[in-house]
């Protein structure tokens, strides 16, 4: 089950704002025809993914558990370093990097494409299997779905998490998905090429 973070309204609004503001707030236009303009900035976002194969679900981008979030406690979003490159043919290529990226691992649940306060009766009771900081890199070859070709996107994350007893857990996650040409990125369901979440206790 894929929840593509490029659809989060906060980030799309940021791109729209940059475009509307004109060249003075974005990176300089290419010095030579055929070169791509580059925009770099930071933004905050959160997302989740379910891996039915491992029976695990990961929640990214907020340094708080579902129980803490649902209790109304203040939460802190992680900052992502984001680079956008506008290709001459139209698509926007995106690179997201989080060096100290918050991740919480839970048992998998069929939550659909979105979660919200209405899901708290279920989410608040989920046990945290592991949590901590990881490095995450996400790519998207057509962030807004404006190109004529297929749109491949996904991310990889890895690091050392801890379980509730304090034991160190090696964590890795890989997600790859594809939207075929002509699909509306705001409405279409991406084709899941790979979703893998792995937890391995240290020393094994």
Which pLDDT score is estimated for 163? 96
Cβ-proximal residues to 105 (8 Å cutoff; 6+ apart), any chain: 56, 57, 58, 59, 128, 129, 130, 131, 161, 171, 197, 199
From residue 25, give the alpha-carbon distance in Å to each of 87, 105, 163, 166: 18, 38, 44, 46
The answer to whether residue 87 sits within a structural domain is yes
The answer to whether residue 132 sits within a structural domain is yes
User: Counting every residue, how long is the chain?
Assistant: 204
pLDDT at 3 over 50: no
Give SS3 for 123. helix
Entry pTM: 0.78
Give the model's confidence band at 183: pLDDT under 50 very low, under 70 low, under 90 confident, else very high: low
From residue 185, give the alpha-carbon distance in Å to each of 13, 51, 170, 182: 15, 21, 33, 9
C-alpha 182/C-alpha 145 separation (Å) is 8
Which pLDDT score is estimated for 30? 40
C-alpha 84/C-alpha 20 separation (Å) is 16
The answer to whether residue 128 sits within a structural domain is yes
Q: List helix spans (H) across 100-171.
A: 120-123
Which pLDDT score is estimated for 31? 41
Of the two residues 55 and 21, the one the predictor is more confident about is 55
The answer to whether residue 51 sits within a structural domain is yes
The answer to whether residue 30 sits within a structural domain is no
C-alpha 82/C-alpha 176 separation (Å) is 19
The answer to whether residue 43 sits within a structural domain is yes
Q: Which two tokens stand for residue 177?
A: 């998905």
Q: What dihedral do alpha carbons 84, 175, 7, 49 form, nearest 10°?
A: -140
C-alpha 29/C-alpha 9 separation (Å) is 26
Q: Domain range for residue 82?
A: 5-25+35-201
The answer to whether residue 45 sits within a structural domain is yes
As a whole-number percent, the residues of the chain with pLDDT over 70 amount to: 78
- The DSSP code for 20 is H
Number of domains comprising the chain: 1
Of the two residues 150 and 175, the one the predictor is more confident about is 175
The answer to whether residue 50 sits within a structural domain is yes
């Amino acid at each position: 089950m894929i929840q593509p973070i490029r659809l989060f309204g906060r980030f799309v609004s940021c791109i729209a704002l940059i475009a509307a503001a004109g060249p003075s707030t974005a990176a300089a236009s290419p010095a030579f025809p055929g070169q791509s303009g580059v925009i770099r900035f930071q933004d905050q976002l959160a997302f989740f993914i379910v891996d039915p194969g491992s029976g695990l679900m990961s929640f990214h981008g907020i340094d708080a558990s579902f129980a803490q979030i649902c209790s109304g406690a203040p939460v802190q979003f992680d900052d992502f370093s984001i680079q956008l490159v506008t290709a001459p043919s139209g698509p926007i290529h995106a690179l997201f990097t989080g060096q100290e990226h918050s991740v919480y691992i839970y048992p998998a649940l069929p939550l659909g494409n979105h979660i919200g306060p209405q899901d708290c009766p279920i989410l608040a009771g989920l046990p945290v299997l592991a949590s901590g900081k990881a490095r995450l890199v996400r790519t998207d070859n057509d962030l807004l779905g404006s190109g004529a070709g297929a749109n491949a996107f996904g991310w990889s994350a890895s690091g050392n998490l801890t379980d509730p007893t304090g034991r160190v857990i090696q964590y890795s996650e890989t997600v790859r998905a594809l939207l075929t040409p002509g699909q509306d990125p705001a409405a279409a369901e991406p084709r899941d090429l790979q979703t893998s979440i792995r937890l391995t206790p240290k020393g094994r």
